[in-house]
Structure 1
Amino acid sequence: MFDAHFRYGRRLDLVNPQTLADKISWLELNGDRETMARLTDKFEVRGYVAEKGLSDALIPLCGGPWTSADDINVDALPHQFVLKATHGCEMNYICRDKSTLNVDDMVTHAQRWLASDYSRACVEPHYKLIPHRIYAERYIGGMDGVIDYKFHCLNGVPSFVLTCSNREKSLKLNLYDLDWNAIEGLQGSMKNAAGIARPSALSEMVDMARTLSSDFDFVRVDLYERGGKVYFGELTFSPAVGVLPYFTDEFIKRWGEVLQIGRKQN
């Protein structure tokens, strides 16, 4: 029995995995780390998305990738852009107006990202294999008002959707089935009492999630909807370090019975 209770508030059984958290964590330790690393890499995954015929959902690039912050050619970047790191989470620098951009501050952030070892901070070994790079994407709008649709896909099939909203203030979570019926399963202070409107492109999102998850036992497919268009966010193989502390014990037990680990080569 692996005890993650001290750090994460939930114990994991990696010898005889039963719950969804157990099985996701088991896959992290026993799956194909090279594939997980390649598709967790926020730059490399773009190739996979394109191979699946979904290149139209990719946010356009406008620079990079760079292995050194000194290589960033700010003059060549558009008036608005987002600088991102390939190898971790919460490594985004938004430029809404290049005329007021603090270049030194941006470069400092980029240098800090490049020097960070996210695999040690998050205890997710596959991050160790991701090259440390930065790149720039076109700015499509801030996160205020944007909903993050996280399709949790089990056995190559989208199964339920976790939504993240109110990111710039106090993150709120909602949980839905694929017909957009609210379902129980969340716990903690981030649980949102208010509902999230059904996205107009829900059917398209479900199809995209199914296409992108078909090769894996488990993966979370993150999508956004902006101006009526669906954008790809990322693929995540071990959300919340695999422990899923925002889900109830009953919820992860129920979905653990559904997930069949070893069915596909992760």
Structure 2
Amino acid sequence: MRQCSSLLVKLSAVLYRRFRRISLALYRKNVPPSILNVVLYPTYLFQFVAVHHRFPIRPTRLFNDFLFQVRSGTELECPLRRRVSDKEYCKMYMEEKLGAKTAIPTICVLRTADEVERYRPSVLPCVIKPTNSCGRIVIARSEKEYIEALPKIMDWFHEDYFMCDLEKNYATLERKVIVEEYIDDSFSLEGSVHCLGGEPKLISLIDRYTKARQSFDLDGTPLGVSLYYPLRAFEPASWEFLPSLLRQSRILSSEFTYIRVDFFTDTKRVLFGELTNLPAAGIGRFYPADGEKIFSEVFFRPVH
């Protein structure tokens, strides 16, 4: 991969920050998407060059270049992408596709700050998240812990996640809070299936307790790479869950050019959590340094 000069990388970082400010200013003024997109494209481009030190010119050969194409186009603005970006509606979509009790159970959805303030968890422990963003979470193991977390939870009603990573699928989503059942500790693995054109391509697994992480091909062969977080190699005790996971992932990904199917497993049962449009906001680094090449070779491998 040909690298950009250090001067161009530094210049791109400066231009990214400037275009980001312009993009946010236009978004706050509620300009039409057609106008906002004109400014967003160079914002994404300069960020990509600043992070990856190259131009995204290999969308059929390198994973991050492919994600740049998804991020910078209009695909993320489509109603289905926006629907599955909302955690409440995403679960509905998954259960429409797979049937009841295939997604993490929802206890309730709180639609106003007043509802959050009055609410007390009926099931403990529980997991609390904003429906319109990513990476925000509270685990309440007691009513006291829930009450202590109220300022943080209430603050979510003031957050527009588009303002963080400029992901179009999150723009103007309704602000709500979802309360979920805590996943049983026997579900010791969390993972994701990267799907291209309705076909699973790779599996990433994380041990929930040791935080070891590894990526695998569909035969369960470790690839020795990790996206965004450093690699800590391990293998699951059993792949008994794999046939069911791949079958259900095909169903969930059938309407998308690309989607990441997120799940939990005890190596026998599978519970689905979310569908992710842009892993690491489309700009994640791989570990080790040549990890993207290895990952991409498997991701773009033709299905036989």
Taking structure 2 as the reference length, what is the TM-score of the superposition? Answer: 0.73
d(CA) in 2 for partners of 1:126, 1:219: 13
d(CA) in 2 for partners of 1:189, 1:56: 30
Q: Which runs of 5+ in 1 are unaligned?
A: 260-266
Q: Does 1:124 align with 2:167?
A: yes
Which of 47, 70, 74 is 2:114 aligned to? 70
Q: 1:181 is paired with a residue of what secondary structure?
A: coil
Which of 160, 185, 203 is 1:161 aligned to? 203
Letter aligned with residue 175 of structure 1: S
Map of 1:93 onto structure 2:
138
Comparing 19-28 with 248-257, greater Cα deviation is found at 248-257
d(CA) in 1 for partners of 2:266, 2:68: 32
Map of 1:263 onto structure 2:
none
Q: 1:3 is paired with a residue of what secondary structure?
A: helix
Per-residue CA distance 1:42-80 (angstroms, 9 max, x = gap): 11111211221332212222122x232321343462233
Q: C-alpha displacement at 1:151, in angstroms?
A: 0.2
Q: Give the alignment of 1:155-194 within 5 angstroms.
A: 155-166=197-208, 171-186=211-226, 190-194=230-234
Q: Give the alignment of 1:175-214 within 5 angstroms.
A: 175-186=215-226, 190-214=230-254
Distance 1:23 1:165, change over 3 A: same
Percent of aligned pairs with the same residue? 22
Map of 2:36 onto structure 1:
none
Letter aligned with residue 85 of structure 1: P
d(CA) in 2 for partners of 1:187, 1:107: 32
Map of 1:112 onto structure 2:
155
Map of 1:79 onto structure 2:
124
More helix by share: 2
CA contact (8 A) 1:10 1:245 kept: no
Which of 235, 239, 251 is 2:294 aligned to? 251
Letter aligned with residue 205 of structure 2: T
Per-residue CA distance 1:230-260 (angstroms, 9 max, x = gap): 111110111011123126241355357559x
Which of 13, 16, 21 is 2:64 aligned to? 21
d(CA) in 2 for partners of 1:252, 1:194: 17
Which of 222, 226, 231 is 2:262 aligned to? 222
Distance 1:250 1:133, change over 3 A: same
Letter aligned with residue 114 of structure 1: F
Q: Which runs of 5+ in 2 are unaligned?
A: 1-41
Distance 1:189 1:47, change over 3 A: closer
Letter aligned with residue 91 of structure 2: R
Larger Rg computed on CA atoms: 2
Distance 1:123 1:146, change over 3 A: farther
Comparing 108-117 with 231-240, greater Cα deviation is found at 108-117
Per-residue CA distance 1:92-111 (angstroms, 9 max, x = gap): 2112233x4351x2221112
Which of 87, 90, 109 is 1:42 aligned to? 87
Which one has more relative contact order, counting CA pairs under 8 Å at least 6 apart?
Answer: 1
d(CA) in 1 for partners of 2:241, 2:296: 30
Letter aligned with residue 102 of structure 2: A
CA RMSD of aligned residues (A): 2.8
d(CA) in 2 for partners of 1:137, 1:165: 21
Q: Does 1:151 align with 2:193?
A: yes
Map of 1:133 onto structure 2:
176
Q: Does 1:57 align with 2:102?
A: yes
| Alignment length (residue pairs) | 252
Per-residue CA distance 1:147-199 (angstroms, 9 max, x = gap): 211100011100110112356x7x43201111211124447871113333334
Q: 2:272 is paired with a residue of what secondary structure?
A: strand
d(CA) in 1 for partners of 2:55, 2:166: 14
